[in-house]
A and B are shown apart, each in its own frame.
Chain A
Amino acid sequence: MELTPDLLKTLYRYLVTTRTLENRVATICQSQNANDPLIVGKGYLSTGQEAISVGASVALRQGDWLAVGHRDMGAHLVRGITPQEIFAQYFCRATSLTQGRDENIHFGCTEKKILGFISHMGASACVANGLAAAMKYRGDPNFVLTTFGDGASSQGIVHESLNYAAVFKLPVVFIINNNRYAISTPVQEQFTVKNLSDRAAGYGIPGMLVDGNDVVAVYQNTLKAREHVLAGKGPVLMECKTMRMCGHGTHDSAGYVPRDEIAAWEKRDPLLLMKERLVKEIDFTEEADKKLNLEVNELIEAAWQAAAKGPAPRAEDLLTGVYTEVNDGRNDLRRGDTPSPLYRHGR
């Protein structure tokens, strides 16, 4: 697809929205009352690596599925999850995507074709395969984009999934979001291969190495990968190199990262790179950037304030939804004092 000024501006707007939203999550975490917190749990942010999830997800079409990791806020926004929904999720409100049953980035949305994220991470890759197998089964011209980090790339299920996808030539693009740290463990303590994309050879599939801080490069390479998998040629393994410019969570000051490493990457901040490009290549000014940031900021402020007004889930709803409801109180199956747990559902 052509890189029109509109598309470039859209990419940049998603980068700014993601950064602004997550900065807000961080400041709420830092300032809230620990005894009655607004954000339940911690914030897990994608600061410094927003370009991967924004660039990759803008390359998706409507029928494509997304199986993302925990530093993919940009992809949620691109797919149409609203900032208010994200804050409701962070605040564990009954109005959130998981109805308060899960917190922060642990959510999915079937309607918007986003697989629910789990903390074990690797297992999303094998579920991505299942979605892709079903697309193939139905003859649908779509694919699945799945992302995980350098940390998850060491899990057995990830290797199993890559081989499995290769054997069945499944339309899956596996993106490794290599941000150099698995919580505190640096890449040199995680693997010995130079590039994680080199592992592709072991599965007999193409490997791609992409600058993860260049949103346009991520976008264009995802399009290439999409074309490959939709042609029935099997999966692609794409490594995007980047840097996590924050702690693992909002509770972590990342003191284990050398200062000069951070300083070097700060010069390559994906928002900065994209802004420079816009100013250089299209009709975009510092003035326009200020205006955009103000506008996005207002939107984010309104979103979290509206989300905070949502009700907390009710304790009496604790046991609903463990199983699919089929006309009766099947959710109460193990409770001795409920009426009959027996049920039958129609064919």
Chain B
Amino acid sequence: MVEMTYGGAIRQALFTAMAADDDVYVFGEDVAKFGGVFGITKGLYEKFGPKRVKNTPLSEGAIIGEAIGAALYGLKPVAEIQFSDFITTAMSPLVDVAANYHYRNNASLPLVIRMPSGGGMRIGNFHSKCLEAWFYHVPGLKIVVPSTPRDAKGMLLAAINDPDPVLFLEQKRLYYTVKEEVEEEYFEVPLGFARTVRAGSDLTLVTYGAMVGLAVEASQEASKQGISVEVIDLRTLTPLDEATLKTSLRVGAEFCPVPAAPTLEDAYLPSVEKVLMAIDRAMKY
């Protein structure tokens, strides 16, 4: 075990994954010798060379395109989008091609897109947003938002080894501020498991990423007033750990790309019957 920062653990995960598998390679804007604007890829170029660590032009769409094509060919690309805010210029390849590729074409796309995300660094509107709510509504993408250094390393390794497209949303405000002991060797923290950070009996705060620490702090304050608060860290938004959340009511179109065959599209669309079923379940709650 070695003490690592959140950013350091991600960097360590990249070293570990690339050493373990020649098919893993890293690319993005300024990621090579410069090491990325947050220094996360620092040293990878020196260790693995220009073939496996490469700078790209400022072309987010083309970066996502490379990731899709390379994954389809059998590699395990790890692309960096310099700030998650910049993914807006790459929506078509991500949402139209990558997300529904398996559903439509029955082929897996084992790609990871690392995106520094969120506020707290005083760098304004174009470098601070949290866009995961958009992608939560895109069937076929997986969304990972780690809150601790150990989760960051273990979940990035799990994401790289996952057969489907994963958006890995790194929390910028945690990069250099949180530290903990993390295993040096290869390990995975499986995707799809929430973690109960703090037990409580009066109410539950469900959160993820950089907000977990904040929720814990708030719950400690609340406990001074006699309110017992549970804190759940979702860790992955898709797949969502509904077992830990215990319940969820969802009425709407089903969670899959819109299918073409009439039998499928009729099953996909919301119906009066489905709304009534949800009402029935809510009444029994």
Using CB atoms, name the residue of chain A closest to B23.
A137
Number of interface residues of A (CB under 8 A): 73
- Give B216 Cβ to nearest chain A Cβ, in Å: 23
A128-B65, A318-B254, A333-B242 known; 13 new pairs, CB 8 Å cut-off, are A92-B261, A101-B261, A102-B104, A110-B105, A129-B62, A134-B74, A157-B92, A160-B59, A161-B65, A163-B59, A313-B259, A324-B102, A336-B242
A310 to chain B, nearest CB (A): 11
Shortest Cβ distance from residue B15 to the other chain A in the assembled complex, whole angstroms: 17
B256 within 8 A of A: yes
Max count, chain A CB within 10 A of own CB: residue among B72, B74, B139, B162:
B72
Partner pick for B62 among A110, A135, A157, A344, CB 8 A cutoff:
A157
Chain A: minimal CB distance from B222 (Å): 28
| Residue among A115, A131, A322 with the highest chain B CB neighbour number at 10 A | A322
Q: Could you say which of A97, A108, A160, A318 contacts B264, with CB atoms under 8 Å apart?
A: A318
Known A123-B97, A324-B164, A333-B255: A130·B102 in contact at CB below 8 Å:
no
Write out, one digit per residue, whether chain A residues 313-347 have a CB within 8 A of any chain B CB (1) or not (0).
Answer: 11111110111101000100111110011111101
A123 and B259 contact, Cβ closer than 8 Å, known pairs A324-B102, A347-B161: no
11 chain-A/chain-B pairs, Cβ below 8 angstroms: A40-B262, A65-B73, A127-B97, A130-B72, A131-B69, A134-B70, A161-B61, A161-B65, A323-B142, A342-B239, A342-B243
Q: Is the C-beta of B57 less than 8 angstroms from some C-beta in chain A?
A: yes
Per-position 1/0 for A103-136, Cβ under 8 A of B: 1001111100001101110111111111111110
- Interface positions, chain A 11-57, Cβ under 8 Å from B, are 40-41
Partner of A131, one of B25, B73, B161, B262: B73
Distance A110 CA – B140 CA, assembled complex (angstroms): 18
- Is B51 on the interface with A (CB-CB < 8 A)? yes
B33, chain A: closest CB distance, angstroms: 17
Nearest B residue to A140, CB-CB: B73
CA distance A25 to B260 in the complex (A): 17
Contact A341 B69 (CB under 8 A): no
Q: Of residues A109, A120, A137, A343, which shows the largest number of chain B Cβ atoms within 10 Å of its Cβ?
A: A137
By beta carbon, the residue of chain B nearest A136 is: B51
A250 vs B103: C-alpha distance in the bound complex, in angstroms? 27
- The CA-CA distance from A324 to B111 in the complex, in Å, is 13
B108 within 8 A of A: yes
Interface assignment of A99: CB less than 8 Å from any CB of chain B: yes
Contact A108 B105 (CB under 8 A): yes
Q: Is the CB of B267 within 8 A of A315?
A: yes
**How close is B278's CB to chain A, nearest CB, in angstroms?**
10
Give A74 Cβ to nearest chain B Cβ, in Å.
Answer: 20
For B260, the chain A residues whose CB sits under 8 A away are 40-41, 92, 98, 100-103, 106
Question: Judging by beta carbons under 8 Å apart, are B103 and A322 in contact?
Answer: yes
Type the 1/0 row for A143-171, where 1 means its CB is closer than 8 Å to any CB of B.
01000000000001100110110010000
Q: Is A257 an interface residue (CB 8 A)?
A: no
Residues of A within 8 A of B43 (CB): none
- Residues of chain B within 8 A of A98, CB atoms compared: 104-106, 260
Residues of B contacting A8 in the complex (Cβ-Cβ under 8 angstroms): none
What range describes how many residues of B lie at the interface? Answer: 35 or more
- Which of the residues B105, B107, B192, B255 comes within 8 Å of A322, measured between beta carbons? B255
Q: For residue B100, give the distance in angstroms from its CB to the closest CB of chain A.
A: 8
B65, B139, B248: which contacts A126 (Cβ < 8 A)? B65
Residues of B within 8 A of A81 (CB): none
A123 contacts B25, C-beta separation under 8 Å: no
Residue A278 is within 8 A (CB to CB) of chain B in the complex:
no
CA distance A97 to B105 in the complex (A): 7
A183 to chain B, nearest CB (A): 19
User: Which residues of chain B are near A318, meaning CB under 8 Å?
Assistant: 254, 256, 259, 264, 267-268
Cβ-defined contact, A123 with B70, below 8 A: no
Shortest beta-carbon distance, A19 to chain B, in Å? Answer: 25
Asked if B61 contacts A129 (CB within 8 A), the reply is no
Q: Does A312 belong to the interface (CB within 8 Å)?
A: yes
Is A107's CB under 8 angstroms from B104's CB? yes
Q: How far is the CB of A237 from chain B (nearest CB, A)?
A: 15
The answer to whether residues A323 and B57 also contact, given A130-B73, A342-B241, A342-B243 and a CB cut-off of 8 A, is no
CB-CB under 8 A from B164, the residues of chain A are 323-324
Given A120-B92, A120-B96, A315-B266, A100 contacting B72 (CB threshold 8 A): no
A102 and B61 form a contact (CB under 8 A): no
- Taking a contact as CB atoms under 8 Å apart, the answer to whether B240 and A333 are in contact is yes
CB-CB under 8 A from B107, the residues of chain A are: 108, 110, 116
Cα separation A312 to B259 with both chains bound (whole Å):
12
**CB of B120, distance to nearest CB on chain A (Å):** 30
For the complex, is B93 an interface residue (Cβ under 8 Å from A)?
yes
Residues of A with C-beta under 8 A to B247: 336
User: Does A342 lie within 8 Å of B93, measured CB to CB?
Assistant: no
**Is the pair A126, B62 in contact by a Cβ cutoff of 8 Å?**
yes
Find the B residue at minimum CB distance from A331.
B256
Known: A101-B260, A319-B256. A341 touches B239 (CB 8 A): yes
Contact at B261–A157, with CB atoms within 8 Å?
A: no
